[in-house]
């Protein structure tokens, strides 16, 4: 969950490394550091806190050199302190290493190192133990070797040997003071990409860090090692075999990952949803056949008709999208569908029939638990498809097929446009499977028309941002909130509660509305507002009954509803947030957006750091 940037070339490394870290700060912001090789020694600057602190340190005491590595940290082992900030050194002080992931057996390795020779550890991290292990192996093998080219090979071999002793996950970049213009990287479970430039090359944990310098990228696979120089690179496996990797063209530009005129990435991404929703279904709707076209599934019509059960797996926001998908697929296609927490699915023996189709849902395509669930599903012989936003991600590459979201870069830690894109794609899957079974042409046409009308309705919704802001500001003194919805809007209650937790730090819970009287009602009080998602649909009267129960106990009520629903709620709800009328199948997309805005405006009013909420990182690549 940390950010890694490495550079080797002819320019000064410091400004490039800092710029890359700024673009990756959403991946971790507990501490940051750089290691730049200057002559025969490594200059390091690091500190706890945000990149701004490191930038100030570098401005006061610059580090010169044309190659180096850098890191922004989300703490796993050890507190966020100057000492625990990366890079970390080996015993010699000549080898510097940055690491994303978790070395599970670091304590045993540390103990072995201490028994074998004298080592002085200065941090609480697992990463420093790895640096000492690599350094010891290299120093032992390099004694008496004078050929500089041989030293490069020995450093790669030292890392390979060390990683063969390691249990855990890693994305690594490493430099050594005695080996000029040379960076070594490796990955297992944590993403690492090589950026290919002219007389310069890059390493990064996310391509967004380097897209301002090059759009040519090589996405490393698990167990890859890469040796990087100014004008060349060489990739090999952990077993020592040469690797063949193609150079891909990055689809977005540096402009795409700028905030523009928006104060926060989250707000920008909320307002991008008319476009991202449109892109999620672009070219995938067939009016002639009243169905969806999803060639990326890599399944024939006969294979799709044979699907007897679907499992949707993901984490956080992606899990909530899957829960909406469960309702949609069962409603449209009559295929039994269930949603599994990826972290649970990968570690339990879920009974599944041979006709089960699994979807792994992840915005980044690198979520550790979701990737683990995908691999476990495939290990047991089930066809497993991906729904992700990064066509070069591990999930996209390892799945048996899938659907690319086309949502564009999402930088804000709190996912917004990726959620609505995932819901739209799951709607398309439900439509496709439904039309292969019982869904009529008229019903298929209805769904398509509802989908095609979505971007304009979202535009209409976004114009009410200031009204939603006024509602949010009324509740700055609230200590928490309850969220309620039924059917397709129950997962929206969960997602809205998650958004509020993530960026306001307030207590929040989502529930099916009918669960109110089964215990939740004990929480109702004047200081705890309840948000009800109540479009005027088939269960409106049931929701209204629950609202009255909260009102009778003096709980403040915010209702997200349609215009016709608002007329019935006047005088009952304390505040109304209106959404356009639409088909039930697309209503979750419309009801979630005002609640994204509500959470955003409340967080701003509370003075929270919206794009970098405490303790969170965008892409969860560790367990």
Active site residues: 2, 618
| Positive or negative: CA dihedral 86, 90, 94, 97 | negative
End-to-end Cα distance, the chain: 10
* Strands ordered across the beta sheet of 530-533: 507-512, 480-485, 530-533, 557-561, 575-578
- Is the separation of the CB atoms in 183 and 174 below 8 Å? yes
Can you tell me the distance from the alpha carbon of 150 to that of 142, in angstroms, rounded to the nearest whole number? 9
Q: CB burial class (10 A; 0-12, 13-18, 19+) of residue 575?
A: buried
Helices 273-281 and 417-435, packing angle to 10 deg: 30
Count of CB atoms situated within 10 Å of the CB of 301: 9
- Do the beta carbons of residue 375 and residue 347 sit within 8 Å? no
Alpha helices in 41-105 (DSSP H): 51-60
Q: What is the number of H-type helices and E-type strands within the chain?
A: 19, 26
Where do runs of H (alpha helix) occur along 253-392? Answer: 265-271, 273-281, 301-305, 317-333, 342-345, 368-379
Supply 290's token pair: 């009243």
d(CA 5, CA 535): 47
Helix axes 273-281, 441-462, angle to 10 degrees: 160
Decide the pairing of beta strands 201-204 and 193-196: antiparallel
Q: What is residue 488's DSSP assignment? A: G
* Residue 179 C-alpha from the chain's centroid: 35
H runs (alpha helix) in 416-560? 417-435, 441-462, 465-473, 490-504, 540-552
| 388 token code pair | 């992700």
Token digits for 621? Answer: 């690549």
């Amino acid at each position: 969950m940390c950010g890694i940037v490495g550079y080797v070339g002819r320019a000064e490394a410091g400004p490039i490394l800092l710029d890359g870290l700024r673009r990756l700060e959403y991946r971790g912001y507990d501490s940051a550091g750089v290691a730049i090789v200057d002559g025969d020694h490594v200059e390091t600057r690091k500190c706890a806190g945000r990149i701004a602190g490191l930038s100030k340190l570098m401005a006061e005491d610059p580090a010169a050199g044309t190659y180096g590595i850098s890191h922004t940290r989300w703490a796993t082992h050890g507190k966020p302190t100057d000492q625990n900030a990366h890079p970390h050194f080996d015993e010699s002080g000549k080898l510097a290493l940055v690491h994303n992931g978790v070395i599970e057996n670091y304590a045993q390795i540390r103990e072995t190192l201490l028994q074998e020779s004298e080592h002085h550890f200065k941090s609480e991290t697992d990463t420093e133990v790895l640096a000492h292990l690599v350094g010891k192996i290299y120093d032992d093998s390099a004694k008496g070797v004078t050929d500089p080219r041989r030293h490069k090979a020995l450093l790669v071999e030292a890392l390979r040997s060390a990683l063969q002793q390691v249990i855990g996950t890693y994305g690594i970049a490493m430099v050594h003071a005695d080996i000029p213009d040379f960076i070594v990287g490796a990955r297992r479970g944590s993403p690492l990409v090589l950026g290919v430039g002219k007389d310069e090359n890059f390493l990064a944990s996310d391509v967004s860090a380097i897209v301002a310098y090059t759009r040519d990228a090589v996405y490393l696979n698990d167990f890859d090692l890469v040796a990087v120089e100014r004008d060349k690179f060489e990739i090999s496996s952990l077993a020592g075999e040469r690797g063949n990797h193609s150079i891909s063209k990055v689809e977005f530009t540096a402009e795409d990952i700028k905030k523009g005129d928006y104060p926060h990435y989250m707000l920008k991404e909320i307002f991008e949803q008319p476009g991202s929703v449109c892109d999620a279904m672009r070219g995938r709707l067939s009016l002639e056949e009243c169905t969806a076209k999803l060639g990326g599934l890599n399944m024939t019509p006969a294979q799709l008709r044979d699907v007897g059960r679907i499992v949707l797996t993901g984490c956080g926001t992606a899990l909530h999208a899957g829960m909406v998908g469960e309702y949609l697929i069962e409603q449209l296609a009559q295929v039994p569908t269930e949603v599994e927490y990826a972290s649970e699915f990968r570690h339990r023996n879920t009974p599944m029939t041979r006709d089960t189709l699994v979807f792994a849902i992840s915005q980044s395509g690198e979520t550790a638990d979701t990737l683990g669930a995908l691999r476990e599903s495939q290990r047991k012989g089930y066809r497993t498809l991906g729904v992700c936003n990064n066509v070069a991600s591990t999930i996209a590459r390892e799945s048996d097929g899938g659907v690319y979201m086309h949502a564009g870069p999402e930088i804000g830690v709190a996912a917004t446009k990726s959620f609505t894109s995932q819901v739209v794609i799951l709607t398309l899957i439900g439509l496709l499977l439904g039309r292969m079974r019982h869904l009529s042409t008229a019903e298929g046409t209805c769904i398509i028309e509802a989908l095609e009308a979505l971007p304009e309705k979202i535009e209409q919704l976004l114009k009410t941002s200031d009204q939603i802001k006024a509602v949010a500001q009324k509740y700055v003194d609230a200590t928490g909130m309850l969220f309620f919805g039924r059917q397709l809007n129950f997962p929206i209650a969960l997602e809205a509660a998650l958004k509020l937790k993530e960026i306001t730090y307030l207590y929040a819970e989502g529930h099916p509305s009918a669960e109110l009287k089964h215990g939740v009602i004990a929480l109702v009080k004047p200081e705890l507002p309840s948000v009800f998602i109540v479009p005027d649909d088939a269960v409106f009267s049931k929701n209204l009954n629950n609202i009255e129960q909260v009102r009778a106990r003096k709980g403040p009520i915010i209702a997200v509803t349609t215009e016709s629903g608002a007329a019935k709620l006047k005088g009952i709800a304390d505040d109304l947030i209106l959404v356009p009328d639409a088909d039930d199948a697309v209503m979750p997309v419309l009801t979630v957006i005002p609640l994204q805005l509500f959470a955003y405006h409340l967080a701003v009013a509370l003075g929270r750091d919206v794009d970098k909420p405490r303790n969170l990182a965008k892409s969860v690549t560790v367990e």
